[in-house]
Amino acid sequence: MEILKHNIENVKERIYKALIKSGRQNEKIKLIAVTKQVSPEIINEAIKLGLRDFGENRVQELLKKIDFVDTQAKFHMIGHLQTNKVKYLIDKVETIQSIDSIKLAEEINKRFNEKGKVIKGLIQIHTAKEETKFGLMPEELEDFLEKVINLKNIKFEGLMTIGTLTDDEKEIRRCFSLLWELRDKFSKFTSDNINLKELSMGMTSDFEIAIEEGSTILRIGTAIFGERKVS
């Protein structure tokens, strides 16, 4: 508990400093604590320490834990989502941040529509150099937006990306500024269900750079909960 408290304070301090450095001290930024491989008990400690938003990247893990977590928690799906798992997320998550194909968007829309629900979504964009990362290519975004305009059970609120995992600050910055430019370019592309405002970018190793590049949502695991086991 003491370590967790210290880590959270430390992360908040670093966020605050980065906001000041970027001239964004009056802006709000959402902190999502990434809880993959973190037990419900620890998540409940984090809630006692004031955190409310949590990120999970696997549906099964989320479902296993969620009933043991205080109901104040809001979960966000941040990992690659298979279409056959979408139905399990209804009433479980606040946003799906990893929408990366039209097929997935259509399935989400269909399942939430069946239950009369609307879900907030972010579109995941592939900005990194690695080939393994999920996400739409930047040049696919326009076509994607035109095709999802009728999916009324998803509210598309912004973009999400994972920056290249590297020590090269310039390369990381390139990923984040690319996401910013995309949002800028498509900010006028609004409809009943599309209004791109959020930029979900920045993890433990790069969140200060992400803040400087305009991030509105940070997804931070290791700096809060410590190193995970390699899986």
Ligand X SMILES: *Cc1c(COP(=O)(O)O)cnc(C)c1O
Q: Note whether 40 binds ligand X by CB under 6 A.
A: no
Q: Note whether 203 binds ligand X by CB under 6 A.
A: yes
Q: Note whether 158 binds ligand X by CB under 6 A.
A: no
Nearer to ligand X, 86 or 122 (CB): 122
Tally Cβ neighbours within 10 Å of residue 181.
12
Residue 131: phi and psi, rounded to 5, are: -85, -15
Q: Confirm if 1 and 9 have CB atoms less than 8 A apart.
A: no
CA 224 to chain centre: 16
Radius of gyration of the chain (CA): 17
d(CA 213, CA 179): 9
Number of residues that bind ligand X (CB under 6 A): 13
d(CA 85, CA 81): 7
Token pair of 134, please? 């999920």
Q: Confirm if 18 and 212 have CB atoms less than 8 A apart.
A: yes
From the CB of 89, what's the least distance to ligand X, in Å?
16
Q: Note whether 217 binds ligand X by CB under 6 A.
A: no
Query: Among 100-108, 112-120, 131-139, 200-208, which window interacts with ligand X (CB under 6 A)?
Result: 200-208
The only residue of 7, 35, 57, 193 in contact with ligand X, by rule CB under 6 A:
57
From the CB of 152, what's the least distance to ligand X, in Å?
27
The only residue of 11, 18, 19, 78 in contact with ligand X, by rule CB under 6 A:
78
The only residue of 13, 115, 222, 226 in contact with ligand X, by rule CB under 6 A:
222
Query: Among 64-72, 147-155, 173-181, 197-205, which window interacts with ligand X (CB under 6 A)?
Result: 197-205
From the CB of 81, what's the least distance to ligand X, in Å?
11
For the chain, the residue count is: 231
Cβ-based neighbours of 191, under 8 Å, separated by 6 or more: 149
The only residue of 11, 15, 123, 220 in contact with ligand X, by rule CB under 6 A:
220
Closest-CA residue to 98 (of 53, 162, 160, 176):
160
The only residue of 8, 29, 34, 210 in contact with ligand X, by rule CB under 6 A:
34
State the residues that interact with ligand X by CB under 6 A.
34, 36, 57, 78-79, 162, 203-205, 219-222
